Structure 1
Amino acid sequence: MKNLKVAPTEKKAALLDSALSLFVKQGFHATSTASIAKAAGVATGTLFHHFPSKDAILNELFINIKQSFADSIIQTSQLTGNIEQDANTLWQSAIDWAIANPLKQTFFLQFSFSVEINPSIRQQAMNEILGFIVELIEQGLKQNVIADFPVPLLLENCHGQYLAAIRFFTDNPQLGQDSTYRQASFQLFWRAMKK
């Protein structure tokens, strides 16, 4: 029987999956590139073929997970043009994603404000990948529904409010499907945003 070779993209995916698990479990600084390679079942040289550094792994992981998050909530959200209703729909879809992807969500809780994430990567995630949220905020400003504050500040507020809600639901998983708590989490967020 022949040994099946693993495609380079599969090796890269295995490295990212291993890094995700190890970064969440051990932290960024306690995780070595050798341990990531070993957990992925590849040589350390293979890791450096795909990533020039551990920082590069972290930044790519951050972008990939943020893209997965954005794709999921866009696909599961039917928007109507009503700013508050659409914000609630996106909020609830984001919480659903977090509950369905606990390891990835824990990664966000640990690394969203980390100095290890390159500022340009953070900007790309917030302004490009989550551009639909920027558009919703801008529409809300035009319709005089959202408080008239700078968009970057509103976007950071959205992010912080979401992480706070997810931390609560992570710490209290039994409440993750409780509609009272879910709706309350949105109302807390919305009160900080609305005019």
Structure 2
Amino acid sequence: MDHRLKRHVDSMSSKSIVTTDKKQAILHSALQLFVNKGFNATSTASIAKAAGVATGTLFHHFPTKKDIMNQLFLSIKQEFATNMVSSTDFSGDIERDANTLWQKAIDWAIAQPLKQLFFLQYSMSADIDADVRKQAMNSILGFVVELITQGKQQQIIADIPNALLLENCHGQYLAAIRFFTDNPHLGDDEIHRKASFRLFWQAMKA
């Protein structure tokens, strides 16, 4: 490769890394501030200051504070989904696979207390656009939709519209992580962990 071209490629790559780092710094700072201070009490200036970037840089990546919230929600949902499916071998047994995903989801929440609090505070909030929540549920968590569809086809899961079933899944999960947040000493208790899934599954099965 021509040395000048190589320097150009290296320069562009370096700029891309810096841009990504700044964007991630903004999202990380926003996460902390939204959880600790609330969405309305957090200014874009305070996010930029905490992230160590200029306010103009923040607006380059995110035109509005709502855009930061929406992107933060999607990025955390993606991390959550990736964690659930990574190294998961789906057996084809709907209840067993659902339990595996449920327990991994609880594990993730316990291991990520700040992101868990973000979910608890904002998953049902009007501060996140409805179409963004729909994207997270139907696209990022598409494997859950597929599991539900298979369960309904096998008459294992109740024949209820997917949108309602997904909202029920979400509500049950938030209730479970709220319980384990309030009772951290029970996070590794097998009885309570199994019971949390049993409550969820009873609300889902046919």
Q: The TM-score by the shorter chain falls in which range?
A: over 0.9
Which of the numbers 153, 163, 180 marks the counterpart of 1:152?
163
Residue number in structure 1 paired with 2:190:
179
CA distance in 2, matches of 1:192, 1:122: 22
Letter in 2 for 1:149: I
Secondary structure at the counterpart of residue 117 of structure 1: coil
Residues matched between the structures, number: 192
Aligned mates of 1:193, 1:85 — CA distance in 2: 13
Alignment partners' CA distance in 1, 2:145 and 2:122: 21
CA separation in 2, counterparts of 1:194 and 1:91? 15
CA deviations over 1:15-44 (Å, ceiling 9, x no partner): 000000000000000000000000001111
Alignment TM-score, normalising by the size of structure 2? 0.91
Sequence identity of aligned pairs in percent?
Answer: 67
Query: If you compute each CA radius of gyration, which structure gives the higher value, 1 or 2?
Result: 2
CA displacement at 1:60 relative to structure 2: 0.1
Which of 65, 69, 82 is 2:76 aligned to? 65
Residue aligning to 1:51: 62
Structure 1 residue 116 displacement after superposition:
1.0
Q: Any stretches of 5+ residues in structure 2 without a counterpart?
A: 1-13
Deviation beyond 4 Å, 4+ runs, structure 1: none
- Tell me how far 1:120 sits from its aligned partner: 0.9
Residue 93 of structure 2 corresponds to 82
Give the distance between the partners of 1:26 and 1:171, measured in 2 at CA: 20
CA distance in 2, matches of 1:58, 1:150: 29
SS at match of 1:78: coil
The equivalences for 1:1-195 within 5 A come to 7-195=18-206
Unaligned runs of 5+ in 1: none
TM-score (norm 1): 0.96
SS of residue matched to 1:7: helix
1:157-181 Cα deviation digits (max 9, x unpaired): 0000000000000111110110100
Q: Distance in 1 between matches of 2:127 and 2:44?
A: 15
After superposition, the CA RMSD in angstroms is: 1.2
